Amino acid sequence: MDNHRIVLANRPTGLVDETTTRIDIVDRPTCGDGEALIKVGIVSVDPTIRGWMNDAPGYLPPIGIGDVIRAGGTGLVVESCSPRYSVGDIVYGTTGWQEWAVASDASPYAVLPKGMGVDLPTVMNALGMTALTAYFGVTDVGAIKEGDVVVVSGAAGATGSVAGQIARVKGARKVVGIAGGPDKCVEVVEEYGFDACLDYKEPGLRRRLHEACPAGIDMYFDNVGGEILDDVLANIAMRGRIVVCGAISQYNATPEETYGLKNTTMLIIRRARMEGFLILDYVHQFPEAQMELAGMVLSGQLRHKEHLVEGLEHAPEALNLLFSGGNHGKVLVVVDPSVTLE
Amino acid sequence: MDNHRIVLANRPTGLVDETTTRIDIVDRPTCGDGEALIKVGIVSVDPTIRGWMNDAPGYLPPIGIGDVIRAGGTGLVVESCSPRYSVGDIVYGTTGWQEWAVASDASPYAVLPKGMGVDLPTVMNALGMTALTAYFGVTDVGAIKEGDVVVVSGAAGATGSVAGQIARVKGARKVVGIAGGPDKCVEVVEEYGFDACLDYKEPGLRRRLHEACPAGIDMYFDNVGGEILDDVLANIAMRGRIVVCGAISQYNATPEETYGLKNTTMLIIRRARMEGFLILDYVHQFPEAQMELAGMVLSGQLRHKEHLVEGLEHAPEALNLLFSGGNHGKVLVVVDPSVTLE
């Protein structure tokens, strides 16, 4: 039986195009001792995947040429040679963009509880890696506190929409989003309950941030980097915290195109902090955070939206949606619709 | 009796020149209730003064046109109308660049203990604001720990030379300075005991930092900002800390000339932190820190060097020394050599 996989053919210089990846057909893997064979249901499409395609240092090694594209995913255990997994389990792990995956000691999977009342796309969005990134970014790195004025960029995206809502639950006085275009801004306010949303495609973002947050920005959850980060730095409050989660505006940039940040001296003037983090450092705290996130979903405090793309072969185009801003919500690719959590 | 004062005449755009300040002669102030009249002995010359000359937001308001240049200084109490000060006390406070100053509730002074075995220039350098800035930057913001690899820019300067030595006392495994020119680099290694010093005027600083710190930089004490900060970001270690103390390379820059920082995404990759601070926030911890610094001076663990300039009228030129790199050690202007601590 075949395993269709999407592998890296050439390293892209800007956006991913038809030469970047190719479909590779190999034999379905077998289940070795201590392993489990997984039929992949849904795979995730995240900006960080674009970073792994570069031959550059990162928090994980680059994806090798000819290797399957690294990605989180969920699937069904169809064969188990390990006491950790049972046939019929729905599991979450680093499946990659392929039809069949193998759980092993080197690539462990979490078994998802059934009967939670949430479906698989919801788990991958509101309880998945992007939501966990939002959770630990806001609570731990950003040290959110009662009364904070919070700004979130990429506010219509999978991480940003959750970050703003968690900030609200944790006591933020005002939550302002930044997103691209009027449709997304409406979505951020109406669907995700932000107090306001600024369209960065309109001029004068720095001034509009000042108008929205006249006493300054206490916490900024940054998904985009570049000029927007500079505009926020100009408006940072005394002892403000900038959670450096991502820099999607810069991932496709060549060294010459990379934006040069001019306002970091505001860190001195406002005694502020800019800090990066990696969600993998929090892995032991995931179960507890996911319980809390599930509670927020079920109580309606955490609204979420999935942008489903059908068919593994469309995953590369789906990745570009994130950079063109063409997505609404968490982008997921349905590899096999028969795999469900119910 | 006259009080010669140096006041701000025009806001500079780059370096200070002869049109920036003028000498203003007013009557000697009198001692009101709760005040003390101070004959100024030595005033300090620090990069931050240049920042206060701009009409821009800062941690303190800009110096007004016609106002005396704000600066720390030491002096002798010649008349006291306050129980806090006695005639003959040597005091430390914000004297400004002038011959006579007034201690008041709004501008309090610290009375210096006599018989410490250190002279007045040493107090203003190794126990003064720049040394305190180094102390709290390294210990609190930088959270120095045993075994750290530390890099300090402006390493021959008043703050940097002290920062590196404190890092050493607190257990740093390696202390590397960055300074301008071979003479300063020799001074940093031979006088201040750094393990190495890199001349930023030579090409390839990024590569040389990598060679000096192959496992990455755990803590960077930044006095200069700009391109050197970018080179350090490229070499930051996992969980590295960047103490943003100053940005002397940028203080004279117009908005167009301001350097754009390109490597802040390394904060994500290395889960690193960049944090600004203000020494005034630590004012209640000053006495304890000064005791510790005095101990380091007396035991020979903290080497220091003062660059004395004679005559109040030379203070503006002395300020430019800091930006041309023409100074060796802490720049102090001797206003009245008869004021001493012995």
Per-residue b/e over A5-34, b at no fewer than 16 CB within 10 Å? Answer: bbbbeeebeeebeeebbeebeeeeeebeee
d(CA A197, CA A174): 11
CATH topology of domain B129-280: Rossmann fold (3.40.50)
- Written as one letter, the residue type at B135 is Y
CATH of domain B2-112+305-334: 3.90.180.10
CB proximity list for B23: less than 8 A, separation 6 or greater: B4, B5, B6, B7, B313
Largest separation between any pair of C-alpha atoms in chain B: 63
Average pLDDT over chain B reads 94
Distance to chain A for B111, nearest Cα, Å: 29
pLDDT at position B325: 81
- pLDDT tens by residue, B132-172: 999 999 999 999 999 999 999 999 999 999 999 999 999 99
Angle between the B158-169 and B286-298 helix axes, to the nearest 10 degrees? 80
Which residues of chain A are within 8 Å of residue B276 when distances are taken between CB atoms?
266-273
- pLDDT tens by residue, B204-223: 999 999 999 999 999 999 99
- pLDDT tens by residue, B6-48: 999 999 988 899 999 999 999 999 999 999 999 999 999 998 8
Q: Is B87 on the interface with A (CB under 8 A)?
A: no
Residue B155 DSSP symbol:
T
pLDDT at position B56: 82
Q: Which of A252, A257, A247 is nearest to A224 (CA)?
A: A247
pLDDT at position B106: 87
Distance to chain B for A115, nearest Cα, Å: 36
Cα of A132 vs its chain's centroid, Å: 9
Contact between residue A94 and residue A72 where contact means Cβ atoms under 8 Å apart: yes
Residue A312 DSSP symbol:
G
pLDDT at position A252: 77
Of the listed ranges A86-90, B58-62, B74-78, B294-298, the one predicted with least confidence: B58-62
CATH 3.90.180.10, chain B: domain bounds: 2-112+305-334
Q: Which of A322, A320, A333 is nearest to A156 (CA)?
A: A322
Q: Is A323 on the interface with B (CB under 8 A)?
A: no
**Between A59, A264, A269, which is nearest B269 by CB?**
A59
- pLDDT less than 50: residues of chain A: none
d(CA B49, CA B32): 28
CB proximity list for A87: less than 8 A, separation 6 or greater: A77, A78, A79, A80
pLDDT surpassing 80 at residue B58: no
Location of structure tokens 């090798």: A64
d(CA B277, CA B282): 10
- pLDDT tens by residue, A71-110: 999 999 999 999 999 999 999 999 999 999 999 988 889 8
Q: Which of B189, B194, B196 is nearest to B163 (CA)?
A: B194
pLDDT surpassing 80 at residue B326: yes
Q: Which of A162, A158, A193 is nearest to A175 (CA)?
A: A193
Distance to chain A for B180, nearest Cα, Å: 21
Nearest chain A residue to B267 by CA distance is A276
pLDDT at position A216: 98
Q: What share of chain A is helix, strand, coil (3-state, %, to 5)?
A: 30, 25, 45
Nearest chain B residue to A51 by CA distance is B269
Nearest chain A residue to B274 by CA distance is A274
pLDDT at position A131: 95
pLDDT at position A305: 93
CATH 3.40.50.720, chain A: domain bounds: 129-280
Q: Is B264 on the interface with A (CB under 8 A)?
A: yes
Give the pair of three-digit tokens for residue B117.
């075995």
pLDDT at position B282: 92
pLDDT at position B28: 96
Percent of chain B residues past pLDDT 90, beyond the cut: 82
Q: Do A250 and B268 touch (CB under 8 A)?
A: no
Q: From residue B94, give the alpha-carbon distance in Å to each of A258, B45, B112.
A: 43, 12, 14
pLDDT at position A115: 78
Q: Do A273 and B276 touch (CB under 8 A)?
A: yes
pLDDT surpassing 90 at residue B230: yes
